[in-house]
Structure 1
Amino acid sequence: MTTATLPPDLDAELSALLGAEGWRTDAATRQAHGSDDSRRHAMPAGVALPRDRDQVAAIVRACRRHRVPLVARGAGTGTAAAAVPFGGGIVVSFARMNRILQLRPDDRCAVVEPGVVNGDLQQALQPLGLFWPPDPSSFETCTIGGNLACNAGGPRAVKYGATRDNVLGLVAVTGRGELVRCGGPWTKDATGYDLTHLIVGSEGTLALIVEATLRLQPRPRAVAGLRALYRDAASATAAIARLMRQPQVPAMLEFLDRSALGLLRGQGVALPEAGAMLLVEADGDDDGLPGVLQALADAASGEGLLDLDVAPDGAARERLWAARRALSPALRGIAPGKLNEDVVVPVSRIAELVEGVEALAARHALPIVAFGHAGNGNLHVNVMFHPDDAGEAARARAALDELFALVLALEGTLSGEHGIGVAKRDWMARAFDAPTLAAMRAVKAALDPDGILNPGKVLPPGHPDPL
């Protein structure tokens, strides 16, 4: 059901519950909460800004009685349209639930509300010598709740894991309007079902997270990096396998394909001709790091290596990573339209993926640039096109479908850190068999029996929408 307008009694109930600052139905606020970084937009009928978990639970119960859909929202930095309210209804913004509730260095955890900004948490942890590992490129603006919703990652995930690996417990409100508590400030637990890791990555379709206990890591004392250029993607992939076999896993391991390197050279970045590049970072203590860096340099060396630069200090390391950070802005110079997909394949099949992407670019006469988190096999494949050119737009959509087919054929998966939303929803039926999808739908029905939480996202149509 699409809810463009609200029942008057629901409007009055939420106004009384949340007050003028917490319940907004003016056009400007609704417009501002109708999109995310997917560039898609839909107008909600209202925007709720709760201050605490009790208000969240009351909002859900009220919407359940009226069968009005709810879409949870963080900072709107997602790219899969998971936060876009296509069915109208109410957007629940967690902007006012932005408190760091506890910092517990002895337990190496933090307890936070979902509206806390990732970068703000990192700053609060710095004096304690700790950090929270997920580091998406939007860390300065994205929220912890958004990170939890899509299981965000980033370059550090190769060593420290993505969001799901760094969450110890949750408090969440189900589609029934009930609070559930799972996990806690401990790192070992064999008690009952693991609802914490089930809810993380569910994109607000199972429950609305109102509190999270996050696992923290000690901040490394020393960091160093290296840059390796290779003849082709196959040589770089072989080096990735060698690097990942080292006892000390790289803290970051990024891959850039031939098109990405050409793009950087066009932007004035000094790079020799090469078929692929790896950026590697190691962390540790001052005494042990030089040995670790040498072992990684040895592993990066081999057939097809063209050049290897070591950056043992902060300034040199910063120069290495400047090229990686320059990529996204440089993409805007190619074409205004971008389909950015965060596909994953086994590390041993990265070369096949890159070869397939190059074939797609040639077949559809479109620039396609691939780079990303090589240690996880997680590459960002950017299909560039002009949206106002109908032919290019059609070829871009066809290339995207062929990309997903290629990824599944290579034993891969559709998303490593952006989530499914609606952008990849229809491919879920190709990624999973019918019994597996049925099990997912059963979980959804148990936690959200009326289907009011972010309807139409993640799971492909298979049964009539309860709304």
Structure 2
Amino acid sequence: MSASFIPKSVSALSAAAIAGLRAALPPDRIYFEAADCLPYAYDNSRRVSLPQAVAFPMDENEVVALVRACRQFRIALTPRGRGTNTTGATVPVEGGVVVSMERMNRILSLSPGDRLIECEAGCTNSDVQRAAAAHGLFWAPDPTSADFASVGGNIACGAGGPRAVKYGTARENVLGLNAVLGTGELIRSGCHTTKGVVGYDLTRLLVGSEGTLGLITRATLKLLPRPAGLRTLRVAYRDVSSAIQAVTRIMGQPAAPCALEFFDTDAVALAQAWRDCGIPADTGALLLIDVDGDGAGLEADTIAISNAARGDGLVELRSAASRAESEDLWAARKALSPSLRKLAPRKINEDVAVPITRLPELVSGLGALSREHGLRIVSFGHAGNGNLHVNILADPSDPAQAGAIEACLHAMFRLVLSLDGTLSGEHGVGIDKRDFVAWEVAAPALAVMRQIKRVFDPEGILNPGKTLPDAAE
């Protein structure tokens, strides 16, 4: 899909505003030339909107100074990690200043005894994982983009990943945050302990808020002990229905998989085309399951999960013979999203989630929508917590397909909500889903959210145009 430029009418920054911004940061860390700003005009959503300036703070004091300058001159301010999000959350739709946190990338402290790490927002997920692994620990969120995505971005979007089925998402694994509000005030939320109920839980409010309430500058993350053993199971089924029924059986018994990924028929073919993994030719759907643990417990859980996976439609249940084979299987999973672009010029990627017991209805409903609208729909993802990446594929040069996209997307969202689901499991809302938020969140709750936004950001300068629809909508 080609880049989508966002038309806008933005007044040029005044001389006083430029002087105020330059006073906040040294001249080598704030750019105003269009050529310098262009790399920060887009993210993985492929939307493009040019900012008027890009700033690179090095510490919290500079973030505070920058926000205060933007507030004084009513300049829109868009926080940015590494731009890996897919919903346009870091596209500066109203111009203004992009605040890149990439240079605030230090690990500040690590306490194995307390099982926590404190880092700046610009650290990558992989930076944290390497530091924690040296002590036999890990941070739970593991998005596909972990090698590049920043911790601040993971938190702002509420990222999860495959192992969220057992260990939770960012929201369950952040102990505390430092953030600069739209008022220019630096606040600290949470604590350095796993128990703490003093005051309101601002940490969980900031997680997933996409920079609309505050610029996250520092995070205290909960670390978990890394299990000694890991087993990877590849379970092939003759059709999608058999695989989805197996998911409900697996999640309905006590042994919890670390990860439980689903591949529909097209996703299986793409994975096999990317690398020949010896998937049986009559495979119509696939589950990729990680089981972790220690000693006898790992063995018992693997047996229990394998037994639950067996049932009608089973073609093959195979345990990876080595760590290398396991890594090959997961590499094929991670290659799925970019591989989809081989099937159609345009890909609309949604990450809806429903209760696990409603997955059969979701998958059946998606098949019906594909037939009704004449569009190919490919689904894969984190079936263990009901979170599927649903990809609507289309050729925009075909008038029938181009005209069917919006109706199909709307019908899919209605289907998800009818199944007690949510429109975003881990990718956030950004631009792409903000107009649909009112479909899921009732008016009284939305009104409270808008009041919270005004308290945190009175002038509305923080990441405008994201997360919440306008009151008139």
Counterpart CA distance in 2 for 1:61 and 1:38 is 29
For residue 18 of structure 1, the aligned residue among 22, 25, 46 is 25
For residue 284 of structure 1, the aligned residue among 268, 274, 293 is 293
Corresponding residue for residue 342 of structure 1: 351
Counterpart CA distance in 2 for 1:268 and 1:194 is 46
Secondary structure in 2 matching 1:288: helix
Secondary structure in 2 matching 1:455: coil
Structure 2 length as normaliser, TM-score? 0.94
Q: Deviations over 1:75-100 (max 9, x none)?
A: 00000001011111111110111111
Identity of aligned residues (%): 51
Counterpart CA distance in 1 for 2:74 and 2:334 is 44
Counterpart CA distance in 1 for 2:301 and 2:321 is 11
Shift in Å at residue 132 of structure 1?
0.9
Q: Deviations over 1:95-128 (max 9, x none)?
A: 1111111111111011111110111221122211
Structure 1 length as normaliser, TM-score? 0.95
Shift in Å at residue 363 of structure 1?
2.2
1:248 maps onto 2:255 in alignment: yes
Shift in Å at residue 336 of structure 1?
2.5
Count of residue correspondences:
464
Question: Structure 1 residues 11-20 or 264-273, which shifts more?
Answer: 264-273
Corresponding residue for residue 179 of structure 1: 186
Q: Deviations over 1:225-246 (max 9, x none)?
A: 1111223333323322222233
Contact 1:3–1:69 at 8 Å: present in 2 too?
no
Shift in Å at residue 2 of structure 1?
5.5
1:313 maps onto 2:303 in alignment: no
1:443 maps onto 2:449 in alignment: no
Question: Structure 1 residues 345-354 or 138-147, which shifts more?
Answer: 345-354
Q: Deviations over 1:319-343 (max 9, x none)?
A: 4334323322421211231111000
Shift in Å at residue 182 of structure 1?
0.8
Contact 1:257–1:370 at 8 Å: present in 2 too?
yes
> Partner letter of residue 150 of structure 2?
T
Question: Structure 1 residues 186-195 or 307-316, which shifts more?
Answer: 307-316
1:458 maps onto 2:467 in alignment: yes
Question: Structure 1 residues 35-44 or 245-254, which shifts more?
Answer: 245-254
Counterpart CA distance in 1 for 2:174 and 2:310 is 36
Shift in Å at residue 294 of structure 1?
1.1
Shift in Å at residue 255 of structure 1?
0.7
Corresponding residue for residue 395 of structure 1: 404
Contact 1:336–1:386 at 8 Å: present in 2 too?
yes
Secondary structure in 1 matching 2:200: coil
Shift in Å at residue 205 of structure 1?
0.4
1:147 maps onto 2:154 in alignment: yes
Structure 1 unaligned runs (5+)?
Answer: none
Q: Deviations over 1:256-314 (max 9, x none)?
A: 11222233445563323233211111111234322221111111112232221122531
Question: Structure 1 residues 423-432 or 378-387, which shifts more?
Answer: 378-387
Secondary structure in 1 matching 2:113: helix
> Partner letter of residue 139 of structure 1?
A
Corresponding residue for residue 221 of structure 1: 228
Shift in Å at residue 463 of structure 1?
5.0
Counterpart CA distance in 2 for 1:273 and 1:15 is 63
Corresponding residue for residue 236 of structure 1: 243
Secondary structure in 2 matching 1:446: helix
Cα RMSD over matched residues? 1.7
For residue 298 of structure 1, the aligned residue among 273, 283, 307 is 307
Counterpart CA distance in 2 for 1:228 and 1:350 is 18
Question: Structure 1 residues 414-423 or 233-242, which shifts more?
Answer: 233-242
1:88 maps onto 2:95 in alignment: yes
Secondary structure in 2 matching 1:452: coil
Contact 1:69–1:88 at 8 Å: present in 2 too?
yes
> Partner letter of residue 440 of structure 1?
M
1:29 maps onto 2:64 in alignment: no
Question: Structure 1 residues 187-196 or 268-277, which shifts more?
Answer: 268-277
Shift in Å at residue 142 of structure 1?
0.6
Counterpart CA distance in 2 for 1:319 and 1:456 is 40
